[in-house]
Amino acid sequence: MDEADRWVLRRCRVRLVGELQVAALWDALLNRELFTPDMIEDIQRADSGSRRDQARQLIIDLETRGSQALPLFISCLEDTGQDTLASLLRTSRQAAKQDPEAIRPLDLKPVVLRPVSLKPKELRGEKQDPLKPSQGKLAPVVVGPEELWPAKLRPEILRPEAPRPVDIGSGGFSEIREYQKWAYVLNAEPCGHCLIINNVNFCHESGLRTRTGSGIDCERMQQRFRLLHFVVEVKCDLTAKQMVQALVELARRDHSALDCCAVVILSHGCQASHLQFPGAVYGVDGYLVSVERIVNIFNGTGCPSLGGKPKLFFIQACGGEQKDQGFEVASTSPEDRTPDSDPEPDATPFQEGPVTVDQPDAVSSLPTPSDILVSYSTFPGFVSWRDTKSGSWYIETLDSIFEQWAHCEDLQTLLLRVANAVSVKGIYKQIPGCFNFLRKKLFFKT
């Protein structure tokens, strides 16, 4: 969907949520193939399942349904007798197409978390904005069915449909302290460094198979993090010692002018003894580096310039050898695996003791794990599946979810979507999870 159509939906959202009769729309949406049956079920389960919640979720999801989604949706409204809303959208869409400049204020304006005093010059170019200044004040932004946001916004009431607040400060507003209390500010350009370690070819002595399909994962992550404004560096086929060296080198860089750091590791893995973070990943020489060691390289002592800034780790590796066959539920999703797919596990047995090239730090020297998020492709102890033709389930889904939702949702919400999507794949099952020690919400810069 292009920006003009997105603008129309967002501008009309309050009216749509208040008046849209969703029950009459399901068959029309299916007939025009705007949504699949599974998508309709997800919308119907949104929040409390009320009409307003379903309408809100429908409008959010509609933005992801392609370039013709809005005109098809207007036709569905006409077919179901909702002509007033159809006319509103059609008229707004024609106005946006005729005057592209009209959508710019809404695209550039950040969320205002409390009334802010504005100088007249800061209101220039806002004539198309529905928010009108009154006595030098700007009313809070209207989001969802609520008429006004409260003067003080608590982090937990931010809804997925809220405009992204990450660009606060770029639209002429200087007071961002309230925002900084509950969300990380990613304003630097570039946002930060992203290191991708892609281990594919393992030495014969390791007994580990070649990770066919991992190159696809690597390309996906490289492109995705570049779009998220990271400087991406890829290192392939590293030994355990080389992995540690690459991570230490990244941690020792000066990150003071940057806002974030990300590490993506694609390798074989296994269970390992731990105090903080479970699991370990293999170097191509067959030696292990614990996830705990990887994370601790970026603690306050090893990487002081990242103090107070989010440090993100994405681990595509098995957590063990158990194969999860799942359990039967009343309604299961359709098989997500293609007939000619060839999934492989990134697993090896539990390891403990001298085989590792590193040992966890002593308890007395363990850092406080603040501003850290570790996202695992699978639950500790279980296999993580990788298709030899299309890449791993976790990375493929992570990339897809980020593409669809990173513009409007925070990282934790994105990872919940990833977990839900991966959990319905394949004959064997897999459930990603994370250890979240972030202190605030994180919205990527898109």
Nearest to 259 by CA among 194, 195, 184: 184
What angle do the packed helices 3-11 and 83-98 form, to 10 degrees? 140
Nearest to 443 by CA among 185, 266, 250, 247: 185
Nearest to 158 by CA among 171, 149, 148: 149
How many residues would you count in the chain?
A: 446
* Active-site annotation holder among 193, 229, 255, 268: 268
Which residues have CB under 8 Å from 78's CB, separation 6+?
A: 86
* Active-site annotation holder among 303, 318, 408, 434: 318
Run of H or E residues at 423: helix 411-423
Whether 255 is catalytic is no
DSSP letter assigned to residue 322: B
Question: Longest Cα pair distance anywhere in the chain, in angstroms?
Answer: 75
Whether the upstream peptide bond of residue 190 has omega within 30° of 0, thus cis, is yes
Q: Which two tokens stand for residue 202?
A: 């393992």
According to DSSP, the residues that pair with 434 across neighbouring strands are 375
Torsion, Cα 185 189 195 198, to 10 degrees, reads: 110
Quickly list H helices, 363-410.
393-405
Q: Which two tokens stand for residue 395?
A: 């990375």
Whether 407 is catalytic is no
CA 397 – CA 336 distance, rounded (Å): 12
Which residues have CB under 8 Å from 297's CB, separation 6+?
A: 244, 247, 248, 251, 303
Run of H or E residues at 92: helix 83-98
Pairs from 336-340 (Cβ < 8 Å, separation ≥ 24): 336/424, 336/425, 336/426, 337/425, 337/426, 337/427, 338/390, 340/389
User: Which residues participate in catalysis according to the annotation?
Assistant: 268, 318
